[in-house]
Homo-oligomer: A and B are copies of this chain.
Amino acid sequence: MYRSHDCGSLRASDINTEVTLAGWVQKSRDKGFMVWVDLRDRYGITQLIFDEERTDKKILEQAQNLGREFVIQVKGTVIERESKNDNMATGDIEILVKELNVLSESKTPPFTIEDKTDGGEELRMKYRYLDIRRNPVRENLIFRSKVAMEVRNFLAGKDFVEVETPVLIKSTPEGARDFVVPSRMNEGQFYALPQSPQTFKQLLMIGGMDKYFQIVKCFRDEDLRADRQPEFTQIDCEMSFVEQEDVLNIFEEMTRHLLKKVKNVEVAEFPRMTYNEAMEKYGNDKPDIRFGMEFGDLSAFAKARDFKIFNEAEIVVGIAVPGAGSYSRKEIDALVDWVKRPQVGALGMVYVKCNDDGSFKSSVDKFYNQDDLAKWAETTGAKPGDLICVLSGPAHKTRAQLSALRMELAERLDLRKADQFAPLWVVDFPLLEWDEESNRYHAMHHPFTSPKPEDIDKLSTDPGNVRANAYDLVLNGNEIGGGSVRIFDKKLQALMFEHLGFTEEEARAQFGFLMDAFEYGAPPHAGLAFGFDRLVAILGGQETIRDFIAFPKNNNGRDVMIDAPSKIDDVQLKELSLKVTV
């Protein structure tokens, strides 16, 4: 061992102890006759002291030549510091160095290894191993490890068995694009990397495993939006002989356990909301309920006057922005510009200032009198001093636009507190969603999700309104988990494939093994998967998953540190019976 103690552990009680420490030079101060060095490792920082009187001259000189990020080993005595530092755990002591051994030199790092660094995103990614030396990045990774342990301990305590499912599986065109892996031993054939272990966990239920979980890497070859990664981690779970209620209860308990264990936050019973309610109240199936600003549907009143834009709109809907009644004309114009940006796409915005004296001033005073506006205020819950923002148009689009505005304003008004946790179950998702591109219905979750039994009849008559036994767990406006009760009856599964536009042959080719399995006694089962990267980020009070991944890829799916992907040589291609066509 190169050390007797780590750099975070020495205290006043260790004074006079002979110690050996090793670590990185965080910084040094050289007064000529005296040199101080901050020595850093994962556990903390300890101050080293070299001086003319007590230190061998050669060693003092050596100390004067240490650069940042050199790796050194020192032997010395723990002594009391003259000027103590209460901000450091080791601030009462320092090490009077007798021996100094440079283990590795370092070039000047391309950015500062400090809590706040001067390095930009790309540079930090290229030198990720240096970025990881910074406290915030390292703490995030340690935090992630801790959350994973708590998840495992909780689930193991509930009799869940962690089962590893295969990574080299079979390509299925349903869902997102698969990454594929050419097989050398089976020429011209490919494995696929799993988008989730969905079918395997269902097979484990058919196999009687009863309660399964796995913290597992999954893969999706998508055009990457900001903060999406081609490989991501899921907490994947499945249970047999359960109903939706049982799944919600156990994972609510798990989430509460995590909040308590890693954040010391106690949360009461999670509220539940149907998908339809979430869309009406928040225009969003993953609403952030840490703050209000619920939608008020103004259609009925707003359409009763001569304002053509509202009268021609499918819906008119508004939110009350607390305290924004005092916004200047300029500020309000900026808001209007914001909703008109192509990313949001509204055509305009109507506003109402709720004056402190109870009167209203709106951008549509020509059409609506004070009584009309009072109704708007009542419906949106606006108080004197608030600003009502109103959008109109087609229902779905308008709600999405108002939701974007609501989130933006909450951000600006600092209503999204990182240390506040507001979980929410959203239930009764639609089973199917219409896909414009392929001109047919797709499964909103996946083809194995069970419709609500009372809605099965609507599959042929009104497919868009069939509800599923599907649910999402939302935390602070982010979907952190989602799942469903599964179909376990082969006839219902066949019916689903039919409604999703699979021919019998296609269904057979892709999911034959699952349909076969249903022939041999499938138990009722249901499950859920958490997006682990996001869960950890949100528990950590942040929303950028990249900060919680040791070696993330950039938006082009590249690892800029190792420079992957890259070309492979012709021998390799030939062995795989492949030719590159670019």
Which residues of A line the B interface, CB within 8 A?
A: 1-3, 6, 22, 24, 40-43, 69-71, 103-107, 109, 127-133, 138, 141-142, 144-145, 148-149, 152, 156, 161-171, 173, 177-193, 199-200, 203-204, 206-211, 217, 219, 221, 223-224, 230-231, 233, 241-243, 245-246, 488-489, 512-513, 517-524, 549-551, 553, 556-559, 561-569, 572, 574-582
Contact = CB atoms under 8 A, between A and B. Distances in A.
Contacts of A166: 231, 550-551, 553, 559
Given A106-B521, A170-B562, 14 more contacts: A71-B522, A105-B521, A107-B520, A128-B203, A130-B520, A133-B208, A138-B208, A141-B161, A141-B209, A142-B161, A185-B223, A189-B567, A190-B566, A512-B563
Contacts of A245: 1
A107 B522 CA distance: 11
23 contacts: A41-B210, A42-B209, A42-B210, A42-B211, A70-B521, A133-B208, A145-B161, A149-B152, A149-B156, A164-B233, A169-B564, A170-B563, A170-B564, A170-B566, A177-B572, A177-B575, A181-B181, A181-B193, A200-B550, A203-B551, A217-B217, A577-B582, A579-B580
A217 to B, nearest CB: 5
A528 B520 CA distance: 43
A190 B22 contact: no
Contact of A208 (B132, B189, B566): B132
Contact of A524 (B2, B513, B567): B2
Contacts of A184: 177, 221
A520 B1 CA distance: 22
A579 B582 CA distance: 10
Contacts of A550: 163-166, 200, 204
A179 B142 CA distance: 30
Contacts of A230: 168
A582 B171 contact: no
B241 A187 contact: no
Nearest to A558: B186
A565 to B, nearest CB: 4
A186 B557 contact: yes
A221 B191 CA distance: 12
Nearest to A173: B569
A43 B219 CA distance: 34
A190 B106 CA distance: 33
Contacts of A522: 71, 104
Contacts of A167: 167, 193, 217, 219, 231
Nearest to A69: B521
Given A1-B243, A105-B521, A168-B230, A145 B129 contact: no
Contacts of A219: 167-168
Nearest to A133: B208
Contacts of A224: 185
Contacts of A575: 177
